[in-house]
Chains A and B, each alone.
Chain A
Amino acid sequence: MKQVDLHIDLPGLKLKNPIIPASGCFGFGREYAQLYDLSILGGIAIKSATIAPRFGNECPRVAETPSGMLNAIGLQNPGVDKIIEKELPWLAQFDTEIIANVAGSNEEDYVKVIEKLNNQPTVKAFELNISCPNVKHGGIGLGTDKELAAHVTKLCKQAAKKPVWVKLTPNVTNIVEIAKAVEEAGADGLVMINTMLGMRFDLKSGKPLLANITGGLSGPAIKPVALRMVYQCAQAVNIPIIGVGGITDAEDVLEFLYAGASAVEVGMANFTDPYCCVKIIEALPKVLSQYGYQSIKEAIGRSFKNE
């Protein structure tokens, strides 16, 4: 088997492979570091940072669904100052690209978090979470309106000294117009998709299972939706896309590359199998080679590119 080139250069990110654990599913990596060397990973999208610490929602915060799960954690995090003090210095030991997911309850909060993280050399890029469905002002209000999405992107771009990726919500009628709007506002890339709004009910009580009532659906259940949205946006914008949604194996990664993603984030699968990112990275050269690729670049956007 020929050596397969897994490496890809993206704004702010020199990825040795396209596998990035998704924000919220990996904490700050400390738990997974007990299981494997995090330097294996292309990058890590760390847990959302907000300007002040957040406790998040009441419990229960998760519920299982067919081929997926609902979560309504509510952006629980220790706040950006603690992250700078405790988590980033620890993460600096790993040879992997750290993406800081940024969240806020208003536009100013995003800018404040970015300003705090600007001079942190460990952070290679920002990921604007304008798509969390689980907090009232968790960004989804910004992410579902193209003008608001563009405006927060613009403000963050002006403040940011590192590339800005914008994480989009699928809970919209037309994701392409939002993708175009944030591209025009200066986004360096798109991360898509965040979770889809869903519910479950308790059979005994008749009440919603989640204390937050609604939650975000993730896992293989949303993979076809994510693929469709990546496919549509990849043809409408000229900035790179990191695909997210239900990836569990190397074949899923190849599908996202075909749809137009240049890298991927892996979320819920880390819970099902804590070693899944390692397994995907190990399997990827074999799967790419099996379908005739010598590099991941050859597969990106293959579904719509003329050959």
Chain B
Amino acid sequence: MQCKYETIISNELLVPQTYRMVLTCHTCAEMVPGQFINIKLKEFSLRRPISICSIDGDRITIIYKVVGQGTKALSEMKAGECIDVFAPLGHGYPIESQRDRVLLIGGGVGIPPLYELAKQYRKLGKHVDVVCGFPNAEACFYEAEFTELGAHVYIATMDGSKGCKGTVLDAVRHYQLTTTFICACGPLPMLKALEAVYNDGYFSLESRMACGMGACMACVAKDQKQADMYHRICKEGPVFPIGKVVLA
């Protein structure tokens, strides 16, 4: 965990409103899939937490959606510029090498952290199914990249313009994916729907954060079993076992 100036290698539009940035990173050796980096942007008080999509030697890839002024400023940064990065933060997805199959389920910009995870499970020779949910065909990304890893990719779009029409769970049913160990990341309604079906695996949560390292208590989730127990999304998370924290 260090705060360093890194160099942007590339920063380009991937699909509408969604960008892919490749940057150098001093702390690649420490990183695990599901962790995040916290980016300082000029003129903004708080850092922007963004999940790590791919770890490649001394570089990482992040994929982020422009949702406000901070991510807009990030999207306007150019290759060659320096960027203040605090990384890696949080606890990622444990790699469970005893598993033969893993089902990865992502919604929108919840998909990127699953890419590095798919890569690591594929390196272990595991069967990896990936279900990616998008609003429409235009918003789809990384189908080819996951396929290149040797993962089986299934697409769900809400308008049915690509793959299965409906949610990721509709796609799971449609394509009869029976793996019960899942790792998921995506919007809260998606995670809640998955929680009703699956109890074995991990969820990655998103939250508004301040310090990003566990000091300020801005991003807490309640424990499902112990009423007075809490977990910091930035520190104990963002990845939690299914059933650990209250999804709210």
Contact = CB atoms under 8 A, between A and B. Distances in A.
A32 interface: yes
Interface in A22-60: 24-27, 30-32, 34-35, 47, 53, 55-56, 58-60
B219 interface: yes
Given A76-B230, A219-B45, A59 B216 contact: no
Contact of B45 (A55, A56, A67): A67
A151 B5 CA distance: 50
A206 B127 CA distance: 45
Given A34-B1, A71-B210, A274-B3, A61 B45 contact: no
B47 A60 contact: no
B218 interface: yes
B169 interface: no
B45 A65 contact: yes
Nearest to A47: B217
A271 interface: yes
B245 to A, nearest CB: 12
Interface in B56-91: 70, 84, 86
User: Which DSSP category, helix, strand, loop or mixed, fits chain B's interface?
Assistant: loop
A10 interface: no
B212 to A, nearest CB: 8
Nearest to B222: A55
Contacts of B212: 271
Contacts of A47: 217
A300 interface: no
Contacts of B40: 272-273
A47 to B, nearest CB: 8
B239 to A, nearest CB: 18
A68 interface: yes
Contacts of A31: 211, 213-215, 235
B248 interface: yes
B45 A62 contact: no
B46 A62 contact: yes
A34 B212 CA distance: 13
A76 B218 CA distance: 10
B228 A272 contact: no
A84 interface: no
A43 B212 CA distance: 23
A64 interface: yes
A270 interface: yes
Contacts of B235: 31
Nearest to A73: B217
A59 B188 CA distance: 14
A24 B228 contact: no
B189 to A, nearest CB: 15
A273 B215 CA distance: 13
Interface of B: 1-3, 40, 44-47, 70, 84, 86, 207-222, 228, 230, 235, 248
19 contacts: A24-B216, A27-B216, A31-B215, A34-B1, A56-B217, A59-B218, A59-B221, A62-B216, A63-B208, A64-B70, A65-B45, A71-B218, A271-B46, A271-B216, A272-B40, A272-B45, A273-B84, A274-B211, A274-B213
Interface of A: 24-27, 30-32, 34-35, 47, 53, 55-56, 58-65, 67-69, 71, 73, 76, 219-220, 268, 270-275
Which 9 pairs, one residue from A and one from B, show the smallest C-beta to C-beta distance? A27-B215, A62-B218, A31-B215, A76-B217, A31-B213, A60-B208, A271-B211, A31-B214, A271-B210
